[in-house]
Amino acid sequence: MLLLLTIIGFLTISSCWSEIFSNNHPKNLSQAIIVGVKKCGTRALLKFLSIHPAIAVASTELHFFDSYTNFQHGLQWYRAQIPINRSSQHIIIEKTPSYFINKSTPLRIARLLPDAQLIIIIRDPITRAISDYVQLRNRHRFYPSFDDWISSSNFTQRTPVKIGCYAQYLRRWLKYFPRNQMHFVDGENLIHRPWEELEHVQTFLNLPVRIHREDFYFNPNKYGFPCLRQTNGCLGLNKGRRHPVIANQTRNKLNDFYLTCNAELKRLAQIDFSWI
């Protein structure tokens, strides 16, 4: 039975790849993908980009390239999830933050969309870890404090902490994509000066700049997070949660852990964000 299931799975994947390679010019597929990183502002970035007249965005995270089940559905399933590329829209964007850390995703995207423009948003890994922790604690009522969480001997193995070592995942992407097909967004600056980061993204996508400073305002009820000047221009209630104050000892411990990771990230990504 196990052998039969294995053969069926192999044939399904082979069929999917055959379908992909039989179409040299796939239409209605993502031309740009926000591949991560979780808790760095992917949803905000996609929402802000959606107001550009030349951009169409997928309304949900598709999890096509990082899900064995979804990938088996094949190319037609993926196409059906992508918004129709109207004549006035030149770029289709989807975002699935877990793509960045998934081992299978870079190769799958490289084979299906070798010319895809990859957008990677990153932020101070300590802030990212705290944000990830806050989300976890919100789901589990009785959860240790962040300081207690980091005080454990195996804190570096906790997923929210590991993800912040961005370089270890970026190496995998650089095996399949050249650096000039990647754009790194500073998640810290996106919170404070979103128009600057959006200008860089629009330039990377070879689009005219249509998103400007006057498109934003800062909502005091969302801890000063930026919102668009339009109906439902702010992110949902689960965004902009207050972060706990952490002890200096905890911050120093995390700083030491991320020091080498950040140096390698700076070298590989060829970026010089203020928090690195």
Percent of the chain with pLDDT over 90: 71
Mean pLDDT across 124-148: 90
CB 144 within 8 A of CB 136: no
- Is 251 annotated for ligand binding? no
Mean pLDDT across 233-262: 88
- Is 43 annotated for ligand binding? yes
What are 122's strand-pairing partners?
Answer: 186
- Is 40 annotated for ligand binding? yes
- Is 187 annotated for ligand binding? no
pLDDT-based confidence at residue 9 (cuts at 50, 70, 90) = very low
User: pLDDT: is 173 or 82 the higher one?
Assistant: 173
Residues with active-site annotation: 39
Measured between alpha carbons, how far is 75 from 113 in angstroms, rounded to an integer?
11
Min mean pLDDT across 109-123, 222-236, 247-261 is at 222-236
pLDDT of 238 over the 80 cut: no
Mean pLDDT across 105-127: 96
pLDDT of 16 over the 90 cut: no
pLDDT-based confidence at residue 82 (cuts at 50, 70, 90) = confident
Query: Regarding beta strands 216-219 and 225-228, do their DSSP bridges make them parallel or antiparallel, or are they unpaired?
Result: antiparallel
- Is 63 annotated for ligand binding? no
What are 186's strand-pairing partners?
Answer: 122
Q: What is the pLDDT of residues 177-225, one digit of tens each?
A: 999 999 999 999 999 999 999 999 999 999 999 999 999 999 887 667 8
pLDDT of 59: 86
What pTM, to 2 d.p., does this model score?
0.88
Domains, the chain, ranges and CATH?
A: 27-269 (3.40.50.300)
CB 63 within 8 A of CB 1: no
Q: Is 40 exposed, middle or buried (0-12, 13-18, 19+ CB in 10 A)?
A: buried
- Is 175 annotated for ligand binding? no
Measured between alpha carbons, how far is 123 from 275 in angstroms, rounded to an integer?
8
The number of beta carbons lying within 10 Å of the beta carbon of residue 204 is: 18
Looking at the chain, which runs of residues are DSSP E strands? Answer: 32-36, 55-57, 91-95, 117-122, 182-186, 216-219, 225-228
pLDDT-based confidence at residue 86 (cuts at 50, 70, 90) = low
